[in-house]
Amino acid sequence: MLDFEEKIAKLAKVINDNKKICVFTGAGISVPSGIPDFRSATGLYSNRDESGYAPELILSRTFFEKEPEIFYRFYKNKIIFKDAAPNIAHKFFALLQDMGKDVSVVTQNIDGLHTAAGSKEVIELHGSVYRNYCTKCGKQYTLAEILAQDGVPYCNGAVVRPDVVLYEESLDNQVIHKALDAIASAQLLVVVGTSLTVHPAASMVNYFKGKHIAIMNKAMTFLDYKANFVFNMGAEVCTQRLAEILHLL
């Protein structure tokens, strides 16, 4: 069995030899940036809100429409991390662009850190906290404008909502097709910080047709058996070493 250095060196060669790369990311990639994941023992879903409601219930469309005050209290306190900065894992996939790589990022995250790191092609399956709109007229609002209003943000009397996919809502078809195209056309698929248990997003990796799959996730995933490289550790460790080998730092 290859040790870490041997395995990471082989992955670096695959990156060197292939131009079209798709990165599929989940909450785990942002944990080193200070954003908690959802389903671990210390994750967001392990604690109930002070109101007593479960986080999964609060983050549903029905709850948002019926109890916007409780929704926004939870959303602003637990979901938004405006001071979080990209870590080495986010930066590494952006830096690959400087090597002339065609890198697409398909992310389940709504934190905007891939874009902040400099990635040019970011497909946000579940939306972004940085986009918000009026539920009546559709006027767009920035995150700063949302946070500037105490409690529920309003637009001429109508509630403003974040442009994120809530429970009970479907993913946008156009976003789905764009993500599937990116995955299907890639030569290398890198899965980072996701357990691949949240569907339909997780099933998208089955559309990959290339030869090389690398997985960087602390827990096992259903795709491990098909992967060429599996690193059961934080992505920051792997990407730091890859960046050194590829002379990106």
Active centre residues (catalytic): 126
Residue 80 CB: number of other CB atoms within 10 A? 18
CA 233 to chain centroid, in Å, comes to: 17
Using CA atoms, how far apart are residues 140 and 41, in angstroms rounded to an integer? 36
| Structure token digits, residue 189 | 């698929």
3-state secondary structure 22-56: EEEECHHHHHHHCCCCCCCCCCHHHCCCCCCCCHH
Residue 156's Cβ-count burial label (10 Å; 0-12, 13-18, 19+) is exposed
Q: Are 74 and 58 in contact (CB under 8 A)?
A: yes
